[in-house]
Copies of this chain bind each other. A is one copy, B any other.
Amino acid sequence: MRGEEKAYAAAGVDLAAAARIKGRIADLARSTYGPRVLAGVGPFGGLFDLEGLEGRVLVASADGVGTKTKIALALGKVEGLGFDLVNHCINDILALGAEPLFFLDYIAAEKLSEDLIPKIISGIAEACREAGCALLGGETAEMPGIYLPGQLDLVGFIVGVVERERIIDGSRIEEGDLILGLPSSGLHTNGYSLVRKIFGEERRELERYYPELGGALGEELLRPHRLYLKILKPALHLVKGLAHITGGGIPGNLRRILPEGLAARIEKSSWEIPPIFKLIRERGKVSEEEMFEVFNMGIGMIAVCSPKDLAEFKKLVPEALLIGEVIKAQEPKVILC
C-alpha cells in the first residue's frame, strides 16, 4: 500500500505506519507475559486468567504522566516516561494494598512517531517486567487537530488484586498513630505545568547546570517516578493507611485517607526538602503553602501505622522517616508545622 496516494494518509492518519508500530508493540508486550496471560490473545482484547484468585478483590486505576512528556520530548529522552506511567499507576493501587496484575497503555499524538512510540512502549514493558505486571494491551492513536504538533499524551490503566481482609483504606487509623514518609526520587509526575511556566521548556534552559542540583535541570526533572511496591510489600500487614503523594501534594492526598474526627500533623523539619523544590520555589516566587499543594516536596508515599508497630515497620522499611502523627480534630485535615 506504500507509495500509493491515500486520502486517509493525506488527512494525517497513516494506517500502514500505525500497523508497523503495533507490530513492534506486540513483541514488547509479549516480553511481559506470565502464565496468566492466555496464549492466543485475541485482537480485540487481552485475556487474563483468574484461576486461583477466588475471593479476591480487583483494584483498578487510570492515570497519566501529565506534561512531563513535554520535558522528555524537548530533551529527546522518552525512555523514562514508561516507568513514570507504570510506577505511578502501581503506586495508586498499592495505596489500597493491591499488587498489580496487568496494565494497558494509551498513547496519542498529532502524528505517531515510528521512532518515539516504540521507545516509550519499551520503557512501559520494562517497568511492567520489573513490577511483575503484564502489559496486556493498549492503543496508539493518531489525532490530527487535537494535539499540538510534536506533543503526545500518555495514559495508563492498571488492574491489581488484594485479599478482601487486607484492603488498606485508612478506616482503622486512630489518634496517636504515626505517619511515616518514603522519599520521592524527584517531582515524580506532578507540577510540570508550573515548572514549565517558571523555567520554560527550551532545551537550552533544561540543559543548564545548577550547582545546587549537582547536574542539569532537565536531568533532575526527568527522574522516573519511584515504585514503592517492593519496598512496602513486606510491611503492608503493619500499615493502616497509605497515601500516594501525587497532584494535591501531602495535604491533598493524606487528607483523603483520614477518618472523621482526625487530622494529620506533619513536621516539615523532619525531612530534608530536596534542592529541586527549593530552586522551584525561589525562581517561581511560589508560596510555601502552594509548593506543598502542587509538589510532593520529597515525600512520595506516606504510610500510617500504630506506634506499637513502629520498630517492626522501620526494620522492614529502613528508609521510612517519621514525619508526623495523627491527632484529634473537627474535620479531616493535614496541618503542616
Residues of A within 8 A of B (CB): 6-8, 10-13, 15, 38, 40, 42-51, 53-64, 66-67, 69-70, 92-93, 95-96, 98, 102, 104-106, 108, 136-139, 141-148, 151-153, 155, 157-161, 164, 167-171, 191, 193-194, 196-198, 201, 242-244, 247-248, 252-253, 256-257, 284-287, 290, 293-294
Contacts and interface: CB of A to CB of B under 8 A. Distances in A.
A253 B19 CA distance: 12
Given A144-B193, A193-B8, A247-B15, A104 B157 contact: yes
A141 B155 CA distance: 10
B48 A12 contact: no
A61 B46 contact: yes
Nearest to A151: B146
B7 A194 contact: yes
Nearest to A257: B43
A155 B141 CA distance: 10
Contact of A155 (B15, B61, B106, B136): B106
Contact of A13 (B42, B142, B147, B193): B193
A140 to B, nearest CB: 10
